[in-house]
Amino acid sequence: MRTHHPSGLPHPLGPHLEHGGANFSIFSKSATEVELLLFDDAGDLRPSRVVALDPATQRTYHYWHAFVPGVEAGQLYAWRMGGPYDPARGMRFDPSKALLDPYGKGVVIPHGYDRVASSVYGEAAGPPMKSVVVDPSAYDWEDDKPPRRPASRTVIYEAHVRGMTRHPSSGVDVARRGTYAGLIEKIPYLKDLGITAVELLPVFAYDAQDAPPGLTNYWGYAPVSFFAPHPAYSSDQSPLGPMNEFRDLVKAMHRAGIEVILDVVYNHTAEGGADGPTLGFRGIENAAYYLLERDRSQYANYSGTGNTLRANHPVVRRLILDSLRFWVDEMHVDGFRFDLASILARDEEGHVLPDPPVLWDIETDPALAGVKLIAEAWDAGGLYQVGSFTGDSWKEWNGRFRDDVRDFLRGEKGSVRRVADRLLGSPEIYGHKEREAEQSVNFATCHDGFTLNDLVSYSEKRNEANGEGNEDGGDDNRSWNCGVEGPSDDPAVEALRNRQAKNFLSVTLLSLGIPMILMGDEMRRTQGGNNNAYCQDNETGWLDWSLLEKHADLHRFVKLLAARRQRRDLGRERQCLSELIREADIVWHGTRCGHPDWSDDSHSLAFTVELRRHRMRFHYLMNAWHEALDFELPCAPGGLWKRWIDTALPSPEDVVVWEEAPVFEGSSYRVEAHAVAALVMSHGS
């Protein structure tokens, strides 16, 4: 710890423990009065101590600072800012509000916090949210090391911390359900499934009241802090509990060889639009933190949530970089998925920058070198940058993979050429960058949209429970209900749905790129057709673990495919399957060898992957037609074809352990309607 300065110092921002107390620093260019508020308890309405800052001695440039003796880790605090309330000029100071510290490393959200009351100017609301002084060094990481798994050997599982274990069927003790500690108990399951990285929906502290009346913001895309772990996800409700419990989770994941990727929201905050609450940024320096319209009283809304963070403002750029460094250096996370990342490419007017400063800051920061960076390369304002996102090291959620695979497997015309490109890592999209196939993060489903079960069970969304008249959520779902809308007791319909689920999972796990599986898809989790369950903190959004037994065949299917993707014993170089395929010779076919049908009316595709150095072949066959098709097989002198996968067969024949694949004798292979098959051959076997 450094020796303190009597009036405090402007660096570092936020609270910093020193000998005998803590230094506090905050940026505000336009504030005329600044007070630091110290609280004794989370539910306190009023501070126990107020420290008024003297601008003559405790303001350096636009940074207000103070050293406060006696402050220790766990101290609750907030800021109060005086200044103009002049929305027409973009200023919204409100001295009645206690404000969260943008650099606070902890947050408490007291019982009685009221989002609506916090939206009224000049009125002190109920007990405010409060920041927490923490000592990041007070934790024993033991021998923790990041796995640093190569992208080619990564299988991502997109999960929700609360949803993963909140359901009574999770088997987790009641006190730990829906928490970081509860998720630790599911690590053996994830490892057994073949998962190498967990991508967690937002864990930054967020406003759960940012939702329609009577509902809860469940997903967490409503941040109030970019440093503090969400306190409600901690089984330890002491002020320092969330940080330590989250670190326990990361440490436990790493011991299992699993990386932790965070879904981060640097595009907007929970303060919403002009009628939203004043929780922090708005009351500290509104025009610096947010993009404003020409009418400065209004907020630009490229996020679809009411406001847009001014990401390329120097102060906000620094905030984002400092936040990312904190989560890497102090919390040991392995990567980030940037929600609506294209917003970070917009300038002060909302125009797209050719070289966005904040994105290059992130890309070139040595503290982030080797960290996985994944962009959701679009935003709610219509910007779509899949294949053209700025930078050299970014991976991208490949929304076109999702759409094209859905089109092909539901039998849409004109989809064969597109799905062929997606299978090979989408060179049509990414080839111009001369990047590895793993720039593409491949997924058929994610949190935003139908689950896999619902993708094959509903042709229309069912979002009435969200209270928005079924107007919310996407309409371009490209789903197919397999003949019956919603749940069905018809064995034929159910068998087709199960087959389609396996088709989606096999294409996702066998295509070049980084595969991503949505939480519960391996056991056909349903949301009852709701494709926008952001406000469903109930059994709609939670994972029902009883489905694991009901759909054990699908779980087994995923487990064996994920295991084969990770196996590295296919040749002398000990490469994994995707690395080998990338180097292979590939020949395309239709139902006749060497004659692919690329026409708009085609619904079938086959291709052979030949690994000459390893004397191995793979032959993939895909039939999205409503009748069975016979596919000619390539000649195989000196070798025998063995059936590895056939999604039309019952378990355990649908996928077999590689070494136990049965020999298939014949010059053609029949692929049933809506099915995928794969054959393998080792010469001399």
- The residues assigned a catalytic role are 339, 376
Q: Are 519 and 543 in contact (CB under 8 A)?
A: yes
> How close are the terminal C-alpha atoms of the chain, in Å?
67
CB 218 within 8 Å of CB 152? no
Between helix 399-409 and helix 491-510 the angle, nearest 10°, is 140
Phi and psi at 346, nearest 5°, equal -95, 145
- What are the DSSP E strand ranges found in 421-463? 440-442
Instruction: Answer yes or no: are the C-beta atoms of 511 and 182 closer than 8 Å.
Output: no
The first and second tokens of residue 438, run together, are 């793993």
Report the SS3 class of residue 544: coil
Runs of H (alpha helix) within 143-302: 161-165, 180-184, 187-193, 241-255, 281-289
The CA–CA distances, whole Å, from 78 to 30, 35, 132, 602 equal 18, 9, 9, 63
Look at phi and psi of residue 366 and say left if phi exceeds 0, alpha if psi is from -120 to 50, else beta: alpha
> What is the chain's Cα-based Rg?
27
Q: Which residues contact 487 (CB under 8 A, 6 or more apart)?
A: 457
Identity at 356, one-letter amino acid code: P
CB count in 10 Å sphere of residue 639: 16
User: What does 81-129 look like in DSSP terms, one character per residue?
Assistant: EE--EEGGGTEE--TTS-B--TT-SEEE--TT--TTGGGSTT---SSPP
Q: 564-568: which pairs have CB atoms within 8 A and are 24 or more residues apart?
A: 564/658, 565/153, 565/155, 565/194, 565/509, 565/510, 565/515, 566/153, 566/155, 566/194, 566/196, 567/658, 568/153
- Which residue type is seen at 586? I
Q: What is the rounded CA–CA span in Å between residue 378 and residue 385?
A: 6
> Cα-flanking dihedrals φ and ψ of residue 621, to 5°?
-135, 130
DSSP strand pairing (395-397 vs 372-375):
parallel
Q: Are strands 395-397 and 440-442 parallel, antiparallel or unpaired?
A: parallel
Residue of 21, 74, 30, 29 lying closest to 51 (CA atoms):
21
Q: What is the dihedral of CA 364, 365, 371, 375, to 10 degrees?
A: -60
Measured distance CA(458)–CA(530) in Å, rounded: 10
Residue 522 carries which DSSP code?
G
What are the φ/ψ torsions at residue 245 (nearest 5 degrees)? -70, -35
> Which residues are 677's β-sheet partners?
621, 646
Phi, psi (degrees; rounded to nearest 5) at 229: -65, 145
Alpha carbon distance 669, 33 (integer Å): 78
Instruction: Report the Cα 447 to chain-centroid distance in Å.
Output: 8
Q: What tokens appear for 397 in the block?
A: 């959620």
> What is the secondary structure of 295-308 as a DSSP string?
STTSB--SSSSS--
Crossing angle for the helix pair 314-329 and 281-289, nearest 10 degrees?
Answer: 120
Chain mean position to CA 269: 17
